Structure 1
Amino acid sequence: MPQPELRIRRAVPEDEEALARLDLVTWSHLHAVTPRPRPEDPFFTDRVRPFDHFVAERAGQVVGYVRLGFPTELASNAHVRQIRGLAVARQARGRGVGRALVRAAVAEARRLGARRISLRVLGHNVPARALYESEGFVVEGVQPEEFRLAGKYVDDVLMGRSLV
């Protein structure tokens, strides 16, 4: 049976509940350095707005998102965009959702005139690293044992790609 069509769109305020739920159920030390979100935590804040996200929808259900922002607040760094979050529902993994979201982020960064796009990924997150590499990102640096998660030291891998 064919999969319903995947739709990538900009997030809207009404997506808050679905995105917060997705964050809650997908949270893992495989990709998160922050504490587990609580059900009452807002997804959108003054610093993390709907406009900063693309949402993946299949059959009317939110199955993923990507957050795009700046790596720093410095004007001298404004030509770079950064993927600052990516989540895909378990049942949607391995079906092109993450790839479609990464491509949407790259396209948006280009549309905004960025010269580069970067991201940070934990060294032990092999599936995410493989996805990013397959989309043209390269390892630009490694911060060894940057985080201690679930009792283990984990590398922070810096990846990026040119958009020009």
Structure 2
Amino acid sequence: MSNPEQNPSGTPDPYGTPQDPAAGQAPQAPQYGAPAGGAPQAPQYGAPQAPQYGAPQAPAPQGYGAEAPATDPGKTLGIVGLVLSILGCTSLIGLILSIVALSKSKKAGYKNGIALAGIIVGAVLLVTSIVVGIVLLVAGGAAVTDLLEACENVSSGDTVVWEGQQVVCP
């Protein structure tokens, strides 16, 4: 004869609950929101999911194209280009980097004022440095020509006075 207080192995149940739901108690209904089959299961692929409440989400992007970047992709490059444009010896490099930065920003749909400033500053300083270089070459050439004319009638190694200083002729 079986005792309802014992489980099938014959040991008494310390809590006094029957092991078989059909042994005397009706099964309990699942709580609200809990799955009816016991342990929760992951939704199957393609199965409809429960509606989610709250703010509506933007639809997922369609197609294979890349998403628009959250920040301007040419911003950092534009800053580097502006800094290099300000330096006289690297104005050409700064000009090129600023053009690349502006191009990247335009493709992403952003305006890049820093890159535009780098282009303007780089172009102005590049033209200015070219003009100054040409003027210095012409002035240096004229000075060398003037020195050679002063040494024309003197033998090599002799000194002449040229613009107030003694110079050894080549």
Q: What TM-score do you get using the length of structure 1 for normalisation?
A: 0.21
Q: What TM-score do you get using the length of structure 2 for normalisation?
A: 0.21
Higher relative contact order (CA 8 A, sep 6+): 1
